Amino acid sequence: MAERRRRARVQGGWANAPAARPAAPKGAVTSNLCPAGTTPAWMRKDQPHSQEQFVFEKPSEVERRVPEAGVIDKPGVYELSKTPSGISRVHLIPGFLDSEQADWMFEQLLHDLPWGQRTHIRQEGSFEEPRLTCWYGELPYTYSGITMQPNPNWHPVLALLKERIEALRGCTFNSLLCNLYRHEKDSVDWHSDDEPSLGTNPLIASLSLGATRNFEMRKKPSLEENGDYRFVERLRIPLDHGTLLMMEGATQEDWQHRVPKEYHSRAARINLTFRIIYPET
């Protein structure tokens, strides 16, 4: 009985001392891992570790984390960075227009402005811009191979908005780029508003009407990063109906911005970017 219980407790033959393995007859095929009658290498203390042994190797480069995007969604003045070109600053004013004013302005501008789709020219080829645009100002404006011809006939709503932003800021804008994002698939890719005609450290006042879209910013990488944007600082600023965003200082020199496509459906959005353009010398 005791013997039966002992056998039930143990699993397999390992509980009993193994019978000595008979020496393999000469010429017999044996395992090449451990020839019959010899001690396997891994059991012998005098043997160096075999190649199969796990060896911990330190990663050659410390793993870098992709920083999480910061969010700016409260009114205020935000200093984004102080280097390399100086202070980069944005000023967010949600509710610059109350919703009733913003509603009727949106409807008029959507209906009245001379919206058109431009062809974007880059080294890789040309493509239709995924949004509609129009331009106001005494001077032409050239960006990404597109030249917007002068258009001094300011729509009364645009003239009114220009005056209101100028009064707030104490400056005079002479130009305006209008963007119409018809739906979630319309967008503007990463860029800076750094054309020579905008001068250094341009002030850009951007007013949004209609559907809320994310305005994203990323810091330009330092020279050592060789154009690698993976680890740069990022920001997201949701811009909703009636919100004014001003960018100034070194923001265009040290940062890029975009309005990405969205996965979920979005109604139309108008964005008005008031600028000061200098004649080309």
Q: Which residue has the tokens 């341009």?
A: 202
Distances (CA, A) of 65 to 27, 60, 225, 230: 60, 15, 15, 9
Shortest separation between residue 149's beta carbon and ligand AKG, angstroms: 17
Strand order in the sheet with 255-259: 70-71, 234-239, 213-219, 255-259, 188-191
Is 256 a binding residue for ligand AKG by CB under 6 A? The answer is no
Among 220, 241, 257, 266, binds ligand AKG (CB under 6 A): 257
Q: Which residue has the tokens 């920083």?
A: 67
Shortest separation between residue 77's beta carbon and ligand AKG, angstroms: 18
Nearer to ligand AKG, 35 or 75 (CB): 75
Nearer to ligand AKG, 134 or 239 (CB): 239
Alpha-carbon gap, residue 103 to 241, rounded angstroms:
8
Alpha-carbon gap, residue 277 to 152, rounded angstroms:
13
Contact (Cβ atoms closer than 8 angstroms) between residue 205 and residue 169: yes
Among 118, 119, 150, 116, which residue's Cα sits nearest to residue 136?
150
Is 247 a binding residue for ligand AKG by CB under 6 A? The answer is no
Write the interaction track for ligand AKG spanning residues 196-235; mark x where CB under 6 A is met and - where it is not.
----------x--------x--------------------
Alpha-carbon gap, residue 186 to 259, rounded angstroms:
9
Contact (Cβ atoms closer than 8 angstroms) between residue 271 and residue 182: no
Interface residues for ligand AKG in 130-189 (CB under 6 A)? 177, 179, 188
Specify which residues 235 forms β-bridges with: 70, 217
Nearer to ligand AKG, 188 or 250 (CB): 188
Is 271 a binding residue for ligand AKG by CB under 6 A? The answer is yes
Among 259, 266, 274, 277, binds ligand AKG (CB under 6 A): 259
Nearer to ligand AKG, 193 or 253 (CB): 193
Per rule CB under 6 A, count of chain residues that contact ligand AKG: 11
Residue 32 carries which DSSP code?
S
Is 193 a binding residue for ligand AKG by CB under 6 A? The answer is yes
Nearer to ligand AKG, 148 or 259 (CB): 259
Is 272 a binding residue for ligand AKG by CB under 6 A? The answer is no
Interface residues for ligand AKG in 62-101 (CB under 6 A)? none
Residue 202 carries which DSSP code?
-
In the complex, which residues of this chain contact ligand AKG (CB under 6 A)? 177, 179, 188, 193, 206, 215, 239, 257, 259, 271, 273
